[in-house]
Amino acid sequence: MKGIPYTTKWLDFTDVEPEIKKFGLPPNERGALKHTVPTIYDPNTRRAITEAFKINLYLEDQYPDTFSLLPKGTRALQAAFSPTFGKLLDTMLGSVVVSIYNEASERDKPHVRTTREAWFGMKLEDIPPQGERLEETVKLWEELLSDIGNWIDAGEPGALYLGGDAPVQADVDVVSVFLFLFRTAPKDHALLKSLENVSGGRWMKYLEAFSKWTA
Ligand SMILES: N[C@@H](CCC(=O)N[C@@H](CS)C(=O)NCC(=O)O)C(=O)O
């Protein structure tokens, strides 16, 4: 989105920790995992930076003339949005873990199973919500979507994004959760259907607006 040239090195889950450790980075400040992707290495400064938000701050500081996702004056409110992003992600995560496990390489499967079972405190196959738990999940998901939609509407008239007529980091957080869900959830999953149908399909338009970056 910032127009900075980059290449991606894709890693198996099993290789994430040992590969990231090679940069001599300290363990993550947040989350259950010590070393994670995304991590970047910037050959211009010979610096490695890990954790999404820190990477974003680094890129803002290092490349100030590029498109900004954290414009000055929006940072406090974007920080206030962060717990909503966490809830949105947590609400959908349980619905996709089995698909991720199924898609993982044979080499990765034990790692994916062990870490996810430890996080959720249950057997992998029991994690995806069903029945009453699924209904509660959909309700929470729709409440979060409704809050986010109302906040967008409370901005400039006709605004498409939380950032107004251009996306900010909070929008990237939201659309990333949607893409994660689309790419990993079973095609007929209730969360996907609700994303497609609530609020007159506004979230499909939102995804479409991002397609120039996400295609
Ligand atoms: N706090 C980190 C969390 C990143 C994270 O959880 N990354 C996951 C993939 S999205 C990961 O590297 N997982 C490796 C694993 O599951 O072993 C951040 O904000 O970047």
Cα 179 to middle of ligand 1, angstroms: 16
Using CA positions, which residue lies closest to atom 4 of ligand 1? 36
Beta-bridged to residue 42, according to DSSP, are 47
Q: Among candidates 178, 152, 147, 173, which has minimal Cα distance to 163?
A: 152
Q: Among candidates 29, 17, 23, 30, which has minimal Cα distance to 48?
A: 23
Tell me if 13 CB under 6 Å of ligand 1: yes
Residue appearing with tokens 């889950």: 13
Successive 10-residue mean pLDDT values, the chain, 215 residues: 96 94 88 90 96 93 96 94 96 97 96 95 97 98 97 92 96 97 94 94 95 89
- Residue 55 CA, closest ligand 1 atom number: 20
DSSP-derived letter for residue 40 is E
Number of Cβ atoms within 10 Å of the Cβ of 82:
13
Residue 157 is predicted with a pLDDT of: 86
Angle between helices 169-184 and 190-197 (to 10 degrees): 130
Three-state DSSP state, 42: strand
Residue 33 is predicted with a pLDDT of: 85
Residue 28 is predicted with a pLDDT of: 87
The CA distance from 33 to 29, in Å, is 9
Residue 201 is predicted with a pLDDT of: 92
Residue 71 is predicted with a pLDDT of: 94
Residue appearing with tokens 């870490």: 115
Residue appearing with tokens 């996709």: 96
Q: Among candidates 153, 167, 157, which has minimal Cα distance to 207?
A: 167
φ, ψ of residue 47 to 5 degrees: the values are -115, 145
Tokens of 52: 């999404």
- The CA–CA distances, whole Å, from 172 to 84, 90, 94, 100 equal 13, 16, 21, 22
Using CA positions, which residue lies closest to atom 9 of ligand 1? 37
Residues 62/77, Cβ–Cβ less than 8 Å: no
The predicted model scores a pTM of: 0.93
Residue 113 is predicted with a pLDDT of: 97
